[in-house]
Structure 1
Amino acid sequence: MKRMQLLTGIMAAGLTLGPVISARACTTVLVGKDASQDGSTLIARNEDVDTAWAKHFVVHPATSNGPTEYVSKDNGFKVTVPGAGLRYTATPDWQQKDGQDQFSEDGINSANVAMSATESGTTNKKAQKADPFVKDGIAETSMVDVVLPYIHSAKEGVEYLGKIVEEKGSAENNGVIFSDKNSIWYMEIGSGHTWAAVRVPNDKYAVIANQTSIGTLKLNDHANYLASPGLAKFVKRHHLAQVTQNRVNYAQAFGTNNKLDATYNWPRVWDGQRLLTPSKKQSIKQHDLALFMKPDQKISVATVQRVLASHFNGTKYDSNGKWVGGYRPINVPTDVESHILQIRNDVPAEIAGVQWLAMASPATSVYVPFYTNVNTTPYQYQSGTDQPDQSSAYWTYKLTRVLTDPYRNKLINKDVRPAQKKLNHQLQVNLKQSDQTAQQLTGSALSDYLAQQNQQNADLAQNTFEKLNQKLIVDSSRQTKIVHHQDL
């Protein structure tokens, strides 16, 4: 399978993630509507894949009489789907599998339901032995495309995907996020046929790394917790964790808590909580970090951007500095795209969904806001491969990362930060202005206008970074040592 590999280091550490695991290793940020600055629900994630792997941004039209069977050309997963499907956006890999999109990852459908899939996780050996992963079960490659077109709320998304896992099995341990204007649900698939989900408290946020993270499930509280049928009995029968009063700790039953987590996962959660709740003093070595936290201040889209771009900035653990401990940061060179899916409550439903996309590394890119009530996407987001080019969005922003890497702190502070700050402000202004105009339009006139605004913002951002890259070429070349006498 493309970019699926055995991780021998992880296996040596005693983890089991199925016969193969995804090379993806993402970081997720979730913000409840009462914790956000403007009352939006926010779900966000860095997609980590490779140092040279373009992503596209596309929109799939609604269907009224489409195919009723989906067969993955990656692992053979088969599932029956409705003939009628909603329009939805997605960010698939540049490379299709026999004409089929792979790793669509994130999007918003026409019912204003958002989905991000997946946050790769880990399953302990005992749980996997009890319920092995299924080779041709549902996997990250197919998940968005077989779920997002068919759901009308975040909770329905959990139930819809859960039924697939129960009936067809799962090929991997995955964390999946669903949101609508009212709620966010975080779901984890812990073994071949078991899953659990928790509703994110409206006044809290979560930062999640590659570790099974859902703690105590209150299985009688269906308003806030969901799980596969018979989960408590399964856990008890296989002695995975204690079950008391229909409560079970899902992470304890299915997850891991070991040396790899101590360097790879806990530090990212610590870093996100450090940024969002600085009043809470914690250790980077702490293993009992809460899944949900209250922020010290309301969280904006810009704040989430800062978290996703973090590499322990301002600490001795900074991977661009001393990198004490060698802990895995949130922002890494293998970021291929970063998304923030915003469902707004202070504008009409027709313009409520905004998909903020930063191609390549968010630390040296910019999040461009894209309305999702559209029938097309900016042209530069529909191209790009694993080879550099001079036109695609991915490679424009990737070049910025490449040019700054040798002189990270110097050029980022001198050139990149000022350009980002100015551009971010202008994109925010543009979004507010287009919101006002859009509210005077309906139907195809509205969707056409929103698509035009998306293209204009894409052009503005890319033109800005093309000029920035030219400046970086000059400035980086001046960092080389002079090896001749300038007076001769």
Structure 2
Amino acid sequence: MNALTACTSILIGKNASADHSIIIGRTEDAKPAWPKHYVVHPAGELPTEFISKETGVTIPLPTPSFQYSATPEWTDEFGLFEEAGLNEFDVAMSATESAYSNEAVLAMDPYSDHGINEEAMVTITLPFVKTAREGVQRLGQLIAQYGTGESNGVLFADNDEAWYMEIGSGHLWVAQRIPDDAYAVVGNQLAIQTIKFDDPANFMYHPELLAKTTAAGLYQPGTPFNFRQIFGTRADKDAHYSTPRVWYGHRMFSASQVTEETPESQTLPFLMHPDQPLTLQDARDFLTSHYQATPFDPVGTGTEAQRHRYRPITLAKTQESHLIQTNRTGNNILWLAMGVGVESLFVPFFNGITDTPPAYQRGGLPASLDSAYWIYKLVGVLVERDRTAYWPQLVQLQTELNDYLAQSVADLDRQNLTPVELTQVNLDLANTALKHFEALAMELLVAQTDLSPFNYDTDANL
């Protein structure tokens, strides 16, 4: 099995959100120092075929490709890993939520060493679809044809609906529409439960899913087809690594309904209804959470064992976090937080812009301070030297900038800007936010210059 990244996802239907926008989002968790970029690909930019650097698979591509945004890694040595974006038809995609499948399923339908993995999925799908449903269908057909070497969850949305797709073995997959009045949170487990094969409005799946699982003795006809139970795992690792994050999301948004849920439960529901309509702030709070107000908070007051019992959502290995809003009154938005989400800032990027700030297109190894990724990471590293002393400064700046960005977005929604005008305004917003984080980094550097073991206090000048 290939090494997988470990992310956390959220999907919110349009009637479950306070402003009736559809929200999908995810933390991209892989390495603590592995820069990401944010770019816009113009229409027609992609070649006529995709060749994977990871698996070697060659896939013919339709022409011309649509304009789309993406979050590639700083190097394509191991693949593009574009991960998330919006295309010119307002289709949003985020891929992937890494998952695990059981041995019996993989014996029936093994992984492929030369198939389509996470690094390719956005690139071969998002620039070629006009709806979220088409996104599921295209990726599903490609997985069925070429196979994959991983089990993954993939998020799609457009201005009408959101879909969650799960690839459960080498070729077999399912997808479920998120009901308009519901939400879902997912943490590195196959999550979709009962599949209704006679409900094409809300379910899609590999055409041979039922036949293959029945022939392999994995499904008994006449019983509910529970995809999670048939394809997923129920290991002790799941109960400590995956389910606690889902439990915490349910606790945040549906507290009145989950009084009997526990962090290690293996039967947590995939779909939930919120106690009250959810906001962008709620989604942001979820992706930056770490079990606050519980003994399991890594920076809380629990015992050493409690604070390290469960894997939190916000993580040192988070490369970036994103929330994509569709069905908005103004342009749809991808909100992007570079680095560790709780120490960073969700910056809005409007769909329809033709470029992104140069700082968001730069940054590699070694670190450089002309890179947005590294500026946000630097602030986090400096704050963590003494959270008691420096955390309030970071929170104050985040609060001020969140208010500024929210007001700016509201103002822009009332205007009818051309793509050129919108791009320039967006560049100014993103650069303003970044400059404030640069200034905070320099303040923290100055404040910490005397924090050295090579110090001796006798006189102010000695």
- Per the normalisation by structure 2, the TM-score is 0.94
For 1:345, the aligned partner's letter is: R
1:339 aligns with 2:303: no
Q: Relative to structure 2, which stretch is displaced further, 213-222 or 233-242? A: 233-242
Name the CA distance, whole Å, in 1 between partners of 2:107 and 2:289.
37
Please say if residues 160 and 327 of structure 2, whose CA atoms lie closer than 8 Å, have aligned partners that are also in contact. no
1:465 aligns with 2:446: no
CA shift, 1:478, in A, is 6.2
What is residue 13 of structure 2 aligned with on the other side?
32
What is residue 142 of structure 1 aligned with on the other side?
120
Name the CA distance, whole Å, in 1 between partners of 2:359 and 2:161.
33
Structure 1: 5+ residue stretches without partners: 1-17
Residue-by-residue CA offset, 1:370-414 (whole Å, 9 max, x unaligned): 1120221111100000221111100000001111223235422x2
Please say if residues 52 and 387 of structure 1, whose CA atoms lie closer than 8 Å, have aligned partners that are also in contact. no
- In the TM superposition, what are the counterparts of 1:82-93 in structure 2 within 5 Å? 82-93=62-73
- In the TM superposition, what are the counterparts of 1:303-342 in structure 2 within 5 Å? 303-321=282-300, 322=302, 324=306, 326-342=309-325
CA shift, 1:319, in A, is 1.0
1:61 aligns with 2:56: no
What is residue 103 of structure 1 aligned with on the other side?
81
What is residue 239 of structure 2 aligned with on the other side?
262
CA shift, 1:477, in A, is 5.1
- Per the normalisation by structure 1, the TM-score is 0.89
Residue-by-residue CA offset, 1:19-77 (whole Å, 9 max, x unaligned): x232x11000111111111111100000011111110001111119x633221122111
1:154 aligns with 2:126: no
SS at match of 1:47: strand
Residue-by-residue CA offset, 1:88-111 (whole Å, 9 max, x unaligned): 00000000239xx61000000000
Please say if residues 6 and 97 of structure 2, whose CA atoms lie closer than 8 Å, have aligned partners that are also in contact. yes
Distance verdict in 2 for CA 1:131–1:409, change over 3 Å: farther
Name the CA distance, whole Å, in 2 between partners of 1:124 and 1:309.
30
- In the TM superposition, what are the counterparts of 1:332-481 in structure 2 within 5 Å? 332-347=315-330, 351=331, 353-412=332-391, 414-437=392-415, 439=416, 441=417, 446-476=418-448
Please say if residues 75 and 364 of structure 2, whose CA atoms lie closer than 8 Å, have aligned partners that are also in contact. yes
For 2:321, the aligned partner's letter is: S
1:277 aligns with 2:259: no
**Percent of pairs identical after alignment?**
38
Residue-by-residue CA offset, 1:224-258 (whole Å, 9 max, x unaligned): 1111012112112212243426x411111111011
- In the TM superposition, what are the counterparts of 1:8-19 in structure 2 within 5 Å? 18=1
Distance verdict in 2 for CA 1:464–1:290, change over 3 Å: same
Q: How many residues align?
A: 454
For 1:33, the aligned partner's letter is: K
For 2:34, the aligned partner's letter is: W
Please say if residues 38 and 346 of structure 1, whose CA atoms lie closer than 8 Å, have aligned partners that are also in contact. no
SS at match of 1:326: coil
CA shift, 1:475, in A, is 4.0
Q: Relative to structure 2, which stretch is displaced further, 469-478 or 258-267? A: 469-478
CA shift, 1:454, in A, is 1.4
1:189 aligns with 2:171: no
Q: Relative to structure 2, which stretch is displaced further, 402-411 or 326-335? A: 402-411
For 2:146, the aligned partner's letter is: K
Name the CA distance, whole Å, in 1 between partners of 2:448 and 2:263.
34
What is residue 28 of structure 2 aligned with on the other side?
47
CA shift, 1:472, in A, is 2.3
Structure 2: 5+ residue stretches without partners: none
What is residue 237 of structure 1 aligned with on the other side?
215
Distance verdict in 2 for CA 1:231–1:90, change over 3 Å: same
CA shift, 1:483, in A, is 4.5
